[in-house]
Amino acid sequence: MKHPDPVQVFRMEAAELFEQIESGLLDLLHDPSDQQQIDAVFRGLHTLKGSGAMFGFEALAAFTHHCESAFDKVRKSEAPASEELIAAVLAAQDHMKALVETPQADLEAEGEVLLARLHEAVGNGAGPAVSPLAEAEAPVPAARPSGPSRWSIHMRLPENVMANGTNPLGLLDELRELGECTILAERSSIPDLAALDPTALHVGWKIDLVTDKPRSDIEDVFIFVMDDMELEIREAEAIPTAPQAVAPAEEKESGSEPQPQPAAPAQAERPVSRAAPAGRDAKHGDKAAENVRVPAGRLDELMDRVGELVIAQSRLSRLAGSSADIHLRSVSEDVERLSGELRDTMMVLRMVPITQLFGRFRRLIHDLARETGKQIELITEGENTEVDKAVIERLADPMVHLVRNSCDHGIETTAERIAAGKPAAGTIRLIARQSGGDVTIVIRDDGRGIDRQRVRAKAEAQGLIPPNAQMSDQELMQLIFKPGFSTAQQITNLSGRGVGMDVVKKSVEALRGTINITSTPGQGSDIALSIPLTLAIIDGLLVRVGAGTYVIPLSAVEECLELSPADDRRSLDRNFISLRDSLVPFIRLRELFQTGTTPDPHQKVVIISTGEERVGLVVDQIIGDHQTVIKSMSKLHHSVQTFSGATILGDGSVALILDVTHLVAAGQYQEAQLRTAI
């Protein structure tokens, strides 16, 4: 059995920690006093430092230590979570990522600059969280005797703590480092040998600790397991290092009036107790067992195997259909049912919430706002919509470019927005919603909108359209996706070079998706991406054209009609069909594929659509629906835009999958040409 590379495992864990730290920092921008987020960021930095040192990332551990120390001041209310500090920690996090990916690289100079910026941010904001007057009036800690204190600690960890990677002996060693420590094991919960689980922890501990460290240092030992354990920390007594004044009881006996004693802080009087409810350990163990980290490559491999099984099942169904053996048909039906359930389960495993994609843009919006000097807020909707993980990965780069364009071109400066009667802060909305087998993602801004006259003038200047050409609003908007097209008046770090929007469109179309723009001057723009939920297995409509078999994605099919010989003859020159008082252009696939065969007497028209655009595809025969396992085309066929992939049928033959987006665009172009000729 091949064991995973420990360094690679650490990199996976580090990625999760970076995401946790970044999310907490961005949340603090909205509420700098959120102690829960402050603690979460500190724990993330502390874990990253410890894990980095454990796996040999010494440079990472040393650098992270400084960030942790700086943020510890925020945790102890010695410095506020200022915007400058958060920006400095975010920049430092980028440096940590580089240290994780390339630990051998010489990044010391860059790290020193970042640490100087971090220390400056902490220094500028350092200071007590209360006013000087309140500080003067607060009880002085000297009320308690100076010197070490004796602490009584009772701890019991969950039974599954070792399975989760926590070493209890390590916690005890950390307590020993704080001072003189006496440890007594509680063995009353150890079961009989027959019922003993060697992987579970059945022992608790009572610790007597003498230390001059504060309570917070003791609590920090348990910072990562405190939520799941039973822990009680009680100060037993203070050990004086100098002769003490007469005790209040002695003063009373001698007849003198006792002086009022300053009240000790409530935290010092109340023990820290975090007792888990009954049965929590078992539940926690069940929850931990439910979540298993699996590399994405293994899921892809499993998906390939499921795809092969679906193809084999299709062949088995074909053989059983031509056989008179009842038992063979029964087995074929069982295999078909099981393979269908396995396919559906596998599809669910590959689906991830789109919040994993949307979450990346919180940091991007923060950085863009600082870079442009604009006030920009991000609002997300439909984060729980689930999409295939492969779609998420391939959508990230196109969406980054679209969001950057919206911030640069769309959102106005603060002065311009106030002059226009708008709120000072611009808004970028990321909206996701599912519709059938597709998911629609909308990037919406409330900026200045798109200047159509400037788009037209730029297109005419570049020779993309003739002067004064008649175009619909959507056709005009699609010019933005032409290579080299840009309406920016000046080149910035974000946009203006005319590179990117054409790549965005190609990337979306490579996912068998569409992209549309709508804009209202002075109110903003919407960029809508319509993408299939999955790229692995789809429901398809199997059709025959000549001697060849093809697959049309079923999610794009609206209806099927019969093309009578009379309608076929009437439409020879125009290729239009009347559908409920509207004309729909259609494409004769037999002519497009140059089959060289005569048409069947009763041809069929499959009406397909992408959004509001509809086109008919004339085929010779509709065979039926088919579970389509998508296979990528070879590099030699990348320039063939009519097909988006291929699949293997039950008889072992290959059927090509039609690219609906390209065919609809071709049909609309054909319609425009005919209308121009008229």
Q: Cα 30 to the chain's mean position, in Å? A: 21
Same domain, 360 and 348: no
Question: Counting Cβ atoms within 10 Å, is residue 638 exposed (0-12), middle (13-18) or buried (19+)?
Answer: exposed
Beta bridge partners of 426: 376
| Residue 488 included in any domain | yes
| Residue 282 included in any domain | no
Letter for the amino acid at 411?
A: I
Instruction: Kindly state the DSSP code that residue 407 receives in the 8-state scheme.
Output: I
| Residue 259 included in any domain | no
The CATH number linked to 607 is 2.30.30.40
17-27 tens-digit pLDDT: 888 888 888 88
**Mean pLDDT across the stretch 353-375?**
87
Sheet with 582-588, strands from edge to edge, namely 557-563, 603-610, 613-619, 582-588, 576-579
pLDDT at res. 14: 85
3-state helix, strand, coil in the chain (%, to 5): 45, 20, 30
Residue 198: how many other CB atoms lie within 10 Å: 5
pLDDT at res. 237: 62
| Residue 250 included in any domain | no
How many domains does the chain divide into? 5
Same domain, 348 and 358: no
511-527 tens-digit pLDDT: 877 888 888 888 999 99
Same domain, 363 and 493: yes
- Structural domain that includes position 233: 145-239+270-275
Same domain, 514 and 411: yes
595-646 tens-digit pLDDT: 888 888 888 899 888 766 788 888 988 988 877 777 777 777 766 778 878 8
Distance from C-alpha of 505 to C-alpha of 514, rounded to nearest angstrom: 8
Same domain, 188 and 155: yes
Query: Which residues in 261-290 are b (16+ Cβ under 10 Å) and which e?
Result: eeeeeeeeeeeeeeebeeeebeebbeeeee
How wide is the angle at C-alpha 629 spanned by C-alphas 628 and 632, nearest 5°? 120
| Residue 258 included in any domain | no
Instruction: Kindly state the DSSP code that residue 291 receives in the 8-state scheme.
Output: -
Q: Which of 592-596's residues contact partners 24+ apart within 8 Å by CB, and which partners?
A: 592/642, 593/545, 593/546, 593/548, 595/545, 595/546, 595/547, 595/548, 596/546
**Mean pLDDT across the stretch 131-137?**
36
- Residue of 197 and 612 predicted with greater confidence: 197
Same domain, 489 and 546: no
CA-derived radius of gyration, the chain:
34
Same domain, 508 and 391: yes
Query: Do you know the residue count of the chain?
Result: 678
Answer yes or no: is pLDDT of 69 > 90. Answer: no
pLDDT at res. 573: 65
Cα(first)–Cα(last) distance of the chain, in Å?
71
Same domain, 124 and 156: no
The CATH number linked to 83 is 1.20.120.160
| Residue 388 included in any domain | yes
**Mean pLDDT across the stretch 528-537?**
79
**At 500, is the pLDDT very low, low, confident or very high (cuts 50, 70, 90)?**
low
572-607 tens-digit pLDDT: 667 777 777 788 888 888 888 888 888 888 888 998
The CATH number linked to 382 is 3.30.565.10
Distance from C-alpha of 196 to C-alpha of 198, rounded to nearest angstrom: 6
pLDDT at res. 592: 83
Candidate from 48-62, 373-387, 617-631, 632-646 with smallest mean pLDDT: 632-646
Residue identified by tokens 């079961």 is: 191
Helix (H, G, I), strand (E, B) or coil at 621: strand
Instruction: Please say whether the beta carbons of 540 and 554 come within 8 A.
Output: yes
- Residue of 335 and 248 predicted with greater confidence: 335
Same domain, 550 and 525: no
**Mean pLDDT across the stretch 187-211?**
85
Mean pLDDT of the chain: 77
431-456 tens-digit pLDDT: 998 876 678 899 999 998 888 888 88
Distance from C-alpha of 92 to C-alpha of 280, rounded to nearest angstrom: 38
Q: Which of 360-367's residues contact partners 24+ apart within 8 Å by CB, and which partners?
A: 360/396, 360/400, 361/399, 361/400, 361/403, 361/428, 361/430, 362/22, 362/23, 362/26, 363/22, 363/26, 363/90, 364/400, 364/403, 364/404, 365/403, 365/407, 365/428, 366/26, 366/29, 366/87, 366/90, 367/90
281-325 tens-digit pLDDT: 434 444 444 566 677 778 778 888 888 888 888 888 888 888 888
Answer yes or no: is pLDDT of 118 > 60. Answer: yes
Q: Measure Cα distances from 553 to 312, 404, 422, 596, 638 in Å.
A: 21, 32, 44, 25, 19
| Residue 254 included in any domain | no
What is the reported pTM? Answer: 0.63
| Residue 624 included in any domain | yes
Residue 487 neighbours by CB under 8 Å, 6+ apart: 409, 450, 451, 454, 455, 458, 480
Same domain, 151 and 79: no
* Secondary structure tally for the chain: helices H, strands E: 23, 22
Distance from C-alpha of 576 to C-alpha of 117, rounded to nearest angstrom: 67
Answer yes or no: is pLDDT of 490 > 60. Answer: no
Same domain, 340 and 375: no
Residue identified by tokens 């899921």 is: 299
Same domain, 214 and 347: no
For residue 401, what are its two tokens?
Answer: 């470019």
Letter for the amino acid at 265?
A: P
Residue 514 neighbours by CB under 8 Å, 6+ apart: 508, 529, 530, 610, 611, 661
540-563 tens-digit pLDDT: 899 999 888 999 988 788 889 888
pLDDT at res. 431: 93
List the one residue out of 616, 399, 632 whose CA is nearest residue 515.
Answer: 399
